[in-house]
Chain A
């Protein structure tokens, strides 16, 4: 093992190592991963930039509290297995978080070097380590030693990051865990929403396989609330239930013409493309219709992913239409930049008024308002207001509505005693995830509304700890 190398504290190095990427022109036409990952040399260089702070801010910025200086130290020492161990102590899914966490507003935002404009690239290093581990032969991977079975059973509903994390933690505590998932594939938004070019599905599969290797059984095609009820699970021998059903109900604009052919919700657009692999049609059976001119309504990650998919599916001109300004866009900065480099056009301070169709019922144009920013609203962002008389028309062949999502009411509406809010989210204790219904916990987007992968995982972890305590209290 290499001897302990002290970071060179004398001089702070502000040369953050850039992420190697596919060329914009090339990648805008394929579904391969955009960011190609650090080489060993890059990782060592970047790890050396970390000054191993006595009071590291970074760890507090991570919703699951990874010992960030610890794993970076291990990289510096060339001790990859140790880096894996430190990461996995807090994060079951580092290959995913390293790729999709909004680091710039979390761990990296509070890195000491962020003040100098060059935070340590924590996410990229995390990805490097996770990929290093995935590249090892299976027998060389970190082994999880499971404790003797406790005889307690937990049903986890939904196989997104919240459900997978809760399941893995509970299994490692010795409980028998079964996951119930509506779709034909496990992973939640990680498989149906986030595209291959940002998060390769093989990586999600590897993480799902890891969870299965802990003895967790995954029942696909199981729509809880239809195929089976929460109360039946509790009667059928499960001691506790965790709801990680996400926020999968798409919102629409509710303006005239929204049901014309060619107008998709982002969920449908992304599900066809990613989960059903419509980009490989007709090799795969699910079709998608991509016009020459595509407009994507919205300014979040979902809008960026939809727009970038449209380019890759062959659209000539893709425009993001967003009602506020650039600074207000909720998408990760990196993804906005990626989209822009690839040629996505941004039409900011613009909002649709109505859709115009042709005589066959296909959308052909979109009438929009210009907007301006007024006083701040509840979210603290300046409220967009319509500029009177500013209407103009844009020709479009395809529209993707990416306004966001709320929890699907299917499960809450079929489960007695489960309290929900007006926004359709399940009411749960912030610390423990306990719901109003006995023996039922919840976490992730179903509780918070659409949020992030890492916050869903954090909620899954906290709920697993609370469920474990509850199970121990049972005789």
Chain B
């Protein structure tokens, strides 16, 4: 059992948990993830490690409520327990001094980008960050990203904060201006696909962190397979970072939809249960 020590709410649907997991904290590196299971009946699902504290022995995750599992997770509070929490999984993001690195985060992926921007900065890179969200309420950790960025551009789709644009707009301008040696783009799949399309004509190496459906997270099931450079790869062991120009994005998006009907059904039943004042577990 893994105890939730702290909870923070960034918006009605985006939450942070700091979890007591000393063994994971000892090893965690930027770009890795954990696989957790909330309770006896829960599914195993991955969340990126947003931060860690080796001394306190804690791992921070930030998640968005999308379906049953993430909504169920959001019903927990500080002091509650999560049944299973395994990690750190996947390969860490490859960090070296590339020169100038652009870190692009879409939505709550800012939580994933911050440790990467930090590691890139600490490795001697000049870091230019782009943080984009649908609307002002969904922006968080701006100051954290600022701390590790030489330059920070904030965008919102609706213009309620920062520049009214999609992240690909400032990214394109950076590409046109030149001087970027490497791009790390993390966010919703569709955003990563377009970020890849934006940088490709400029030949700037671009890394994306893929988010297929997973089960074990250790290379045992093959559920997380993606195609990169025409080859089949298991995201949980060969990734999650991949060369964004090599990824078959349409395949990834099709595979993410595998259980869409079941997910809807599962969520509907659960919401009925919650509304009926039933047990929130199950």
Contacts and interface: CB of A to CB of B under 8 A. Distances in A.
B220 A248 contact: yes
Given A259-B251, A283-B41, A289-B262, A223 B86 contact: yes
Contacts of B255: 259, 261, 361
Interface residues of A, number: 40
Given A226-B27, A282-B269, A284-B41, 4 more contacts: A227-B87, A268-B215, A276-B44, A408-B220
Contacts of B223: 264-265, 268
B43 interface: yes
B137 interface: no
A132 interface: no
A228 interface: yes
Interface string B72-109: 00000000000111111100000000000000000000
B181 to A, nearest CB: 29
A276 B215 contact: yes
Contacts of B225: 259
A358 to B, nearest CB: 10
Contacts, number: 116
Contacts of A222: 23, 86
Interface string B210-234: 0000011011111101110000100
Contacts of B27: 226-228
B186 to A, nearest CB: 21
A220 interface: yes
7 contacts: A226-B27, A248-B219, A259-B232, A268-B223, A281-B266, A287-B266, A408-B218
Contact of B219 (A249, A262, A276, A284): A249
B253 to A, nearest CB: 8
B254 interface: yes
B68 interface: yes
Contacts of A301: none
Contact of B220 (A252, A254, A271, A277): A271
Contact of A261 (B24, B85, B219, B254): B254
Contacts of B42: 285
A271 B221 contact: yes
Chain A CB within 10 Å, residue with most, of B42, B85, B220, B223: B220
A410 B69 CA distance: 28
B221 A287 contact: no
Contacts of A248: 219-220
A461 B229 CA distance: 45
Interface string A205-229: 0000000000000001111001110
Nearest to A249: B219
- Report, as a range, how many residues of chain B touch the other chain: 35 or more
Interface string A257-289: 011011011011001100011000111111101
A360 interface: yes
Contacts of B259: 287, 289
Chain A CB within 10 Å, residue with most, of B23, B27, B86: B86
Closest 5 CB pairs of A and B: A361-B254, A287-B262, A268-B221, A265-B222, A221-B86
A409 B220 CA distance: 10
Interface string B247-281: 00011001101110011011001000000000000
B85 A221 contact: yes
B182 interface: no
A410 B221 contact: no
A220 B84 contact: yes
B218 A223 contact: yes
B134 interface: no
B220 A223 contact: no
Nearest to A221: B86
B234 to A, nearest CB: 9
Nearest to B259: A287
B222 A287 contact: no
A338 interface: no
A420 interface: no
A282 B86 contact: no
A272 B220 contact: no
A267 to B, nearest CB: 5
Chain A CB within 10 Å, residue with most, of B44, B218, B237, B265: B218
B37 interface: yes
A184 B221 contact: no
Contacts of B265: 282
B24 A227 contact: yes
Contact of A287 (B218, B219, B254, B263): B263
Interface string B24-68: 100100000000010001111000000000000000000000001
Given A282-B269, A287-B263, A267 B218 contact: no
A282 B222 contact: no
A260 to B, nearest CB: 8
Interface string A284-299: 1111010000000000
